[in-house]
Each structure stands twice: as C-alpha cells, then as structure tokens.
Amino acid sequence: MTDSTVIVVERDRIGRPVQAETFEPGDPLPAWVEEKVPRRETQTQDPREEVKHQGSGWYLLPSGETVRGKDAVREAGFNLR
C-alpha cells in the first residue's frame, strides 16, 4: 500500500517510455513494483538539532553558540556525525 500516487514507467533500452502504470493511494502494489520502487529514507532526527560545521574547526551548536573543536562540542553535550 502506498501513501501517495505511484507511477511506474517502463522504458526501452534507449530510455523511451514503453508502458506506464499508475497506482493510487490505498491500492496494493504488486510484487514486481515493490522491486522497482525504491524505499524512501525517512528523517530520524530533527535537522534543527544538528551540530553544523562552520569551517576551520568551528562548530555552530543548536543552541546558537559557536565553539571551536570537536572536544568542545562533546563537552557541550552534543554528538558529531
């Protein structure tokens, strides 16, 4: 089942569309579509809570504070990816 409309376009070897099938929200997807449609990646963390690298060893913390060095980020209680 899908949460949004899925359109699967089959193409020939040079990229021209040969066939298209549309599946509306709530329609069950056949097994062959599940293989062709990539899974969406979902965000697991709020991007506003990330530490941002500003360059030259400076980091902007989610609190708005700017610190220098990875150790200072960890001392402030934040993790780096």
> CA 78 to CA 50: how far, in whole Å?
8
DSSP secondary structure letter of residue 64: S
Across the chain, which distance is largest between two alpha carbons, in Å? 58
Model pLDDT, residue 23: 83
Model pLDDT, residue 34: 74
pLDDT tens digits for 46-79?
767 789 999 999 999 988 899 999 999 999 988 8
Query: Can you give the residue ranges of every domain in the chain?
Result: 6-36, 43-81
- 22 burial via Cβ count (<10 Å: 0-12, 13-18, 19+): exposed
pLDDT tens digits for 9-53?
888 889 888 988 888 888 887 887 777 767 766 666 676 778 999
Model pLDDT, residue 4: 78
